[in-house]
Structure 1
Amino acid sequence: MTQPLALTGHVPLPAHAGAGGFDHAAVHAATGHVYVAHTANSTIDVFDPAARRYLHSIPGLTAVAGALVSDESQLVFTSNRGENTIGVFSPGSAPEVTRIAVGVRPNGLAYDARRRLVLAANVGDPAVPRSCTLSMVDIDGQTMRASIVVPGRTRWTVFDAEAEVFYVNIMAPSQIVVVDARHPDRVARTIAMPADGAHGLDFDPATRRLFCACDAGVLVTLDAGTGKMLNQCKLSGVPDVVWFNPARRQLYVAVGDPGVIDVFDTRTMMTLGTVTTEKGAHTTALPRSGDSVISFLPRTHRAALYTVVA
């Protein structure tokens, strides 16, 4: 079987100053620049994959865990887990970062561009009761509009613009909670997962399917509207970041141990192959063109660039 991704090169990134490696990343469509949370350095590292060149870092984002780019609003959002804030800034060098207080240890981020509303999914603190929450943040007012208590540690989250809802993974009990952006002060409904440890999440708006990678080593496909399970696929191990590629109708699931990307054809949900990255590489980025995939290698502090072949 031909490998679905072909390695074309690397971009060296700053060495780790502490523990933590890399976490979530996003791509700014207009420039192609990649913004990756460098948790070990409390920075967002920015690089140009086309030029294969590191550009600069945005410092002082304590234990940053997530990065999200809104091309509609021309904003970058970060979840700063070590200081219980989200950061908001414009793309470009030396941006001015606005910090907005949220819940305990924010991680996943999703954005409703129409309402300029950010959902920050907070993993909480086991020593603090009811600290697993969702913070609903008004970007224009620079304030937390509501805090929603959820039943367990949050994972990743995505926004469905057509249905106007946020989907948020909960680790245990393994489920997806749904928040209506029109009523962002409560959970509208929940979707129980058939596998433990709901973790990575993405969404196909054309087919109205959710792709949820679970710690049990299973990829679950769900009907977003009804919550009905449509399919289950075996993964190479415990997953993290999931990206759906609408241009190629493919799905990429990063598995840090052994260090691979599992690739699926979303038309059939059959595997297209498994691509070796590096042990500990649990996070990726997907440019909007759909022609490439980027994996972040914590042991060698590099970004690995892959071309989509299949």
Structure 2
Amino acid sequence: MQFIEQSHREFDGVKSSSGAGVRVSGRCRWSGLTAIAATAMWASTCLAAGTQLVQTIVVPGKPLVSYDISWVDPTRHHYYLADRSNAGVDFFDTRTNEWIGRVGGFAGFTGSNDTSGPDGIVADGNFLYAGNGDSTLKVIDVSSMQIINSVNTGGVKRVDEMAIDTASQRLLVVNNADDPAFMTLISTKDGNPILFHHVVVPGATGGLEQPTWDQKTKRFYISVPELNGDAAQSGVAVFNPRTGEVETVFNVGNCGPSGITLGPSQHLLLGCAQPPSIVINAETGAIVAMVPQVGGSDEVWFNSGDDRYYLAARNNPGGPVLGIIDADTNQWIQNVPTAPNSHSVAADPRSNQIYVPLTANPASPCPLGCIGVFQDTDEK
């Protein structure tokens, strides 16, 4: 498969995966094809200290318009992206920041996110798990890059977000678009038997979003965008995988969370639909911090390598950004401009490189779409 040439991919301070550019300074030079507004926004970012776009990675195939969750496996040096535009999961090498290949067999973008795929993804060792638009979970052998199993969760729409308990070999997946939305607990052992099926969160009237696992409490926590038909109320559900029961739902007000991630001190960062982003205590549900400088996030990520939260804030007031928060102090650090609808983020704790798909758009560093690699150049 041939690589797509970007209409511009080179600027001082950023190199492309094809080798066309070389990182020489913190200043950016833009081609005349870039919109004036985007030029001003990105140039001011490149002149500033801190986290910057340092590289772009070309994604072969169709322009990167539709995609979903991304994931880094630092042990295998892989970055994975649910690439709906090309109906597959893309594999990248985090040591060279190059595209490795793609596992197909997914729905692609159907015109509706509810039936498209791939969607949510997580990795564990030699296995990668990916949701598809037909209510199936695909199990991928990473070494062979082949789908080796398909588990039907019994819904009619997509298997979306998911989280894994690697110690007990359990995977919680969410059918967010079914009515009502429901969860399925699946074993990651041979055959991937279903352990608990069609688990509904009481009061969840606006679907379900990202789950995350907490090894200390041994509970899954699930973002609930709306409670009891009230758009001003939302929550975080607490699911016990041993009993198959939703034990409680923490009320988090009008956050309307999509992403959720576990950070230090048993704190959960929520990717709220609008500012402020909030941090809650996983054991009590109490709000411990509010961060008004960033919001409108989809996927969020805690990077243990630098103790920072990263937020793919596509609906942030003023424009889409990569939000950065100190996870130890819960203090905002920086917002870095991304691209329209850039809503996915993952970090490599070994290199502290942050991967953000930059949606195909004229106001993007790569108009056909690419993976943006961000890094704190002050800390490198």
> Is the structural similarity TM-score above 0.5?
yes
User: What is the rounded CA distance, in whole Å, between the counterparts of 1:240 and 1:35 in structure 2?
Assistant: 17
Q: After TM superposition, list the pairs within 5 Å mapping 1:189-268 onto structure 2.
A: 189-204=248-263, 206-257=264-315, 258-268=319-329
The answer to whether structure 1 residue 307 and structure 2 residue 350 are counterparts is no
Name 2:150's counterpart in structure 1: 99
Q: After TM superposition, list the pairs within 5 Å mapping 1:18-29 onto structure 2.
A: 21-29=66-74
- Report deviation, 1:261: 0.6
User: What is the rounded CA distance, in whole Å, between the counterparts of 1:161 and 1:237 in structure 2?
Assistant: 27
8 Å CA contact retained: 1:259, 1:278: yes
Name 1:133's counterpart in structure 2: 182
- Report deviation, 1:235: 4.3
Name 2:30's counterpart in structure 1: none
Which secondary structure does the structure 2 equivalent of 1:195 belong to? Answer: helix
- Residue by residue over 1:262-296, the C-alpha shift from the partner in whole angstroms, topping out at 9 and shown as x without a partner, is 11112222221111111111111111325110110
- Residue by residue over 1:94-113, the C-alpha shift from the partner in whole angstroms, topping out at 9 and shown as x without a partner, is 32331101144221111112
User: What is the rounded CA distance, in whole Å, between the counterparts of 1:136 and 1:20 in structure 2?
Assistant: 31
Name 2:94's counterpart in structure 1: 49
Q: Mind listing any 5+ residue stretches in structure 2 that lack a counterpart?
A: 1-46, 108-116, 228-233, 361-367
Q: Name the aligned partner's letter for residue 297 of structure 2.
A: P
Larger radius of gyration: 2
User: What is the rounded CA distance, in whole Å, between the counterparts of 2:299 and 2:351 in structure 1?
Assistant: 16
Name 1:77's counterpart in structure 2: 129
| TM-score, normalisation: structure 2 | 0.74
User: What is the rounded CA distance, in whole Å, between the counterparts of 2:252 and 2:340 in structure 1?
Assistant: 28
Q: Name the aligned partner's letter for residue 83 of structure 1.
A: D
- Report deviation, 1:20: 5.6
Name 2:214's counterpart in structure 1: 160
- Residue by residue over 1:71-125, the C-alpha shift from the partner in whole angstroms, topping out at 9 and shown as x without a partner, is 4xx3211111x11011112223432331101144221111112221110011123
8 Å CA contact retained: 1:121, 1:168: no
Q: How many residues align?
A: 300
8 Å CA contact retained: 2:293, 2:332: no
Which secondary structure does the structure 2 equivalent of 1:214 belong to? Answer: coil
Q: 1:122 to 1:20 in 2, by over 3 A?
A: farther
- Report deviation, 1:34: 1.0
The answer to whether structure 1 residue 148 and structure 2 residue 199 are counterparts is yes
Q: 1:195 to 1:240 in 2, by over 3 A?
A: same
User: What is the rounded CA distance, in whole Å, between the counterparts of 2:170 and 2:137 in structure 1?
Assistant: 12
- Residue by residue over 1:116-135, the C-alpha shift from the partner in whole angstroms, topping out at 9 and shown as x without a partner, is 1110011123xx4x3x0011
Q: Name the aligned partner's letter for residue 277 of structure 1.
A: T
User: What is the rounded CA distance, in whole Å, between the counterparts of 1:2 and 1:269 in structure 2?
Assistant: 22
User: What is the rounded CA distance, in whole Å, between the counterparts of 2:236 and 2:159 in structure 1?
Assistant: 17
8 Å CA contact retained: 1:24, 1:66: yes
User: What is the rounded CA distance, in whole Å, between the counterparts of 1:293 and 1:229 in structure 2?
Assistant: 27
User: What is the rounded CA distance, in whole Å, between the counterparts of 1:171 and 1:108 in structure 2?
Assistant: 13
User: What is the rounded CA distance, in whole Å, between the counterparts of 1:290 and 1:209 in structure 2?
Assistant: 24
User: What is the rounded CA distance, in whole Å, between the counterparts of 1:3 and 1:239 in structure 2?
Assistant: 23
User: What is the rounded CA distance, in whole Å, between the counterparts of 2:238 and 2:279 in structure 1?
Assistant: 16
Equivalent of residue 178 in structure 1, options 202, 220, 238? 238
Q: Mind listing any 5+ residue stretches in structure 1 that lack a counterpart?
A: none
Q: 1:251 to 1:308 in 2, by over 3 A?
A: same
Which secondary structure does the structure 1 equivalent of 2:160 belong to? Answer: strand
Q: 1:200 to 1:187 in 2, by over 3 A?
A: same
The answer to whether structure 1 residue 288 and structure 2 residue 334 are counterparts is no
Name 2:111's counterpart in structure 1: none
Which secondary structure does the structure 2 equivalent of 1:216 belong to? Answer: coil
Name 1:277's counterpart in structure 2: 338
Name 2:230's counterpart in structure 1: none
Name 2:113's counterpart in structure 1: none
- Report deviation, 1:189: 1.4
Q: Name the aligned partner's letter for residue 37 of structure 1.
A: A
Q: CA RMSD in A?
A: 2.0
